[in-house]
Structure 1
């Protein structure tokens, strides 16, 4: 039983015409938990259950926590999610809807995470949102699905937060002999931990996170994301909050799918024609989704 689904691979005529190439969208927003996170988190949860875990613990009120909660419900394993006070009521509601026990603690994710880790016993599994080889391996399956459909992308566009999606896509590309394919890694200017790592020569902690793309908000990108950028072409591209939000709105009009600003960052590379891809045959963009996105929340963001 796989907890994730095979998602559609669709051509975007608006983005293809705008960029002078064929743009293909891997529609991870269609995953049952609302984002790509269920691929890696779900795979990790299955592995932990096989090893005897009796409870899942998470410290994310966003896409990762909702993926853990969904996995727990499907696997009939209790889930505890510790979230900071800043977590939206909608996120708390969605976690409880999946049957998770929600504990609100602390002013920041770091404080919530500290409590979550303190709750872990030998019978529990702690699910890290992005820095885990099991999670990367689960995410890599999306590239297998693309290749099975006969598509070998010339470039991949994705958003980067902690680096788990980047690490998973890299693994999938390498497994399918696509080692040289460039990855364009998008971040908003206030959430650019990957960009900072490339600039500093290694992962560094950002002094602060700002802006609307909150699910990109990892203070420090994982070491794996930095390391793979030394082995394959990875191009860091920054976009503004406004560009991310406006891209979400354009995408909703063009493709009838609501995504969050973190996903809008990668779409902004295409809507804003920020990268030269006109000479390529197949450009793949990972439409990573967003579990808590609503029309009202998008309209309230001024970017």
Structure 2
């Protein structure tokens, strides 16, 4: 099971007019931010979720079911509302209150189960099977991946002079898989992961997806216990490097994005920028780098 550039192009046609073409912001010599945190429902996952639902064709009466640390659930709730179908979202009991509250506002039924994403996921799969609802995997689904990859196609039109590298924060891998499908081999795609939730990093090291411990400040959005097979296969074939960063670097990068650019993002999103600010990723002289800012569903009170 893989995803190709043709799949991404088909997804772009399918979701055209339903997603925002998010802006690119210059951030210094040879550095840009892709402001995907301004997407509907606050993250890139809306692209993938819309494509997943639209590609499925006629939906069951029970609607859709998703499991999420927060952002995939918000995307599912938003997409379901826009397409006129019911949505039920399973989230861990540790999910940020700001995300849980927004799920309710978007009209989804919210079920909180377990202490981490893996437990919410297991409960969601059981419910989807019993109810007949369409299960929408948060990251390891070809339609989700292809939809996410549409932001890569946007980048090509927004930076026509070209760019060399994209830094992508990774949890389960649904975003980086789409970006690789859209941009490899013309552009180098680099995975950035918390050292305390390094599912793709460990999969690449082991030669297959493996279970990893999950902890840390970004666990609500990057806390997948196991990388998706699609992400592993694409990253492995592309020779995608993964760099690890610690919580302090993530917190500092999130603060810098606010202080220097007035960009309010969640900790998982700040991980991509932390690769630069911490020195975990050091661009070569003249290297043109895009930092993908993928989500903004955060409580901004600690940024004031």
Q: Same fold by TM (over 0.5)?
A: yes
Alignment partner, residue 162 of structure 2: 152
How far is the alpha carbon of 1:5 from its aligned partner? 0.7
TM-score by length of 1: 0.88
The yes-or-no answer on 1:63 pairing with 2:71 is yes
Aligned to 2:237: 231
| Residue 109 of structure 2 corresponds to residue 94 of structure 1 | no
Q: Which residue of 2 aligns with 1:136?
A: 145
1:197 is matched with 203
- Alpha-carbon distance in structure 2 between the residues aligned to 1:109 and 1:10: 32
| C-alpha contact (below 8 Å) 1:258/1:294 kept by paired residues | no
Alpha-carbon displacement from aligned partner over 1:199-226 (angstroms, at most 9, x marks no partner): 21221101x2111011110111112222
Question: Shift of residue 61 of structure 1?
Answer: 4.1
The residue aligned with 2:59 is: 52
Cα gap change, 1:10 to 1:200, in 2 (>3 Å):
same
The Cα shift of 1:281 comes to: 4.4
8 Å CA contact 1:154–1:280 kept in 2: the answer is no
Deviation of residue 151 (structure 1)? 4.2
Cα distance in 2 for residues equivalent to 1:109 and 1:163: 14
SS in 1 for 2:241: strand
Conserved in 2, the CA contact under 8 Å of 1:26 and 1:284?
Answer: yes
Count of residues in correspondence between the two structures: 285
SS at match of 1:265: helix
Match of 1:166 among 169, 176, 182: 176
1:219 match: 225
The whole-number CA distance in structure 1 between the counterparts of 2:254 and 2:116 is 27
Q: Output one character per residue of 1:131-166: Cα deviation in whole Å (capped at 9) or x when no partner.
A: 000011101111111112314221111111101111
Residues 238-283 of structure 1 deviation map (CA, whole Å, 9 limit, x = unaligned): 1110100110010012221111111111101122233232423421
Q: Aligned partners of 2:230 and 2:172: how far apart in 1? A: 10
Give structure 2 stretches of 5+ with no counterpart. 1-15
Using the TM superposition, give the Cα deviation of residue 82 of structure 1 relative to its aligned residue in structure 2, in angstroms. Answer: 1.8
**Deviation per residue, 1:43-66 (Å, 9 max, x gap):** 112223x23344111121411000
1:10 aligns with 2:25: yes
Aligned pairs for 1:280-299 within 5 A: 280-291=286-297, 293-296=298-301
Give the equivalent residue in structure 2 for 1:19: none
- Scaled by the length of structure 2, the TM-score of the pair is 0.87
1:180–1:232 Cα contact (<8 Å) kept: no
Contact kept in structure 2, 1:146 and 1:152, CA below 8 Å: no
